[in-house]
Amino acid sequence: MRNLDQHTITQEVIDRLVDTPDPRLKEVFSSLIRHLHDFARDVSLTEDEWARGIAFLTATGHKCDAKRQEFILLSDVLGLSMLTVAMNNAKPPQCTEATVFGPFFVDDAPHYDNGSDVANGAAGEPCEVSGTIRDPEGRAVAGAKIDVWQADAQGLYDVQRDELDRPQARGVLHADSEGRYHFHSVLAEAYPIPTDGPVGEFLAATGRHPWRPAHLHFRIEAPGYETLVTHVFREDDRWLDSDAVFGVRQSLIAPWVRRDDGSYSLRYDFVLNPETAPVSQAR
């Protein structure tokens, strides 16, 4: 088709997808094209602005490496990560809620026995973490695999520290036969997300702060259950109501209790959703 204009080009581009063999791919890209074109028309996008947008996305890609995913960070601060999590993790109300994955998970974290110290030298005040993994009926999920990871007292994850030659404040444990888990780490502290890249520039340009409330990451897997990716947040944190990545849920807030010896303890019990469970009572 010749002589396309701003009103006719959108449908023409969508029509070019007619022979796409994957129907889901066709559906997604048709919608994406339609919304992108509508966005450009809605804001009367200039050529200079679109060039700056392409430069921003290019810089975001250049900031990504094996230890950092700037596109995940961008998705997080735009609320898209949490929106996707909310749409895809409807659960019965008694099950533990999911939240954002974050950009600092790594595969093949070191394995620890229950009761071990996963801090492995990370800076921070000592903290003991314990709890149970159960199903909605209260039955123990024996042997559940538990990935844990967190930032240190300076607000940095181990993968952000080039000087480290070993993982810190992250590890893999397994629940015991009664669904119990137990490990030592360091006190979770609030920290700013990385601002030395395009996402930081976006936050500065829009007058937003980069802070995340103190939290501990968990990924819990067990046969027959949906994998749970979530955080547990400190109840006294000042940033709970303005998390830079919109990840806080009331049900995920818990007290870190200060002990007489100056160390801390956290207890949190998780409830996994069976893979075949109905979701009609979802939140």
Beta strands in the chain (DSSP E): 126-134, 145-149, 170-174, 180-186, 191-192, 211-212, 215-221, 228-234, 253-254, 257-258, 264-267, 270-271
Kindly report the CATH number that applies to the domain delimited by 75-271: 2.60.130.10
* pTM metric for this prediction: 0.88
Residue 280 has what pLDDT? 46
Q: What is the mean pLDDT of each run of 10 residues along the chain (283 residues)?
A: 88 96 98 98 98 98 90 96 93 94 90 97 97 97 98 93 93 98 96 95 98 97 97 96 97 97 97 75 45
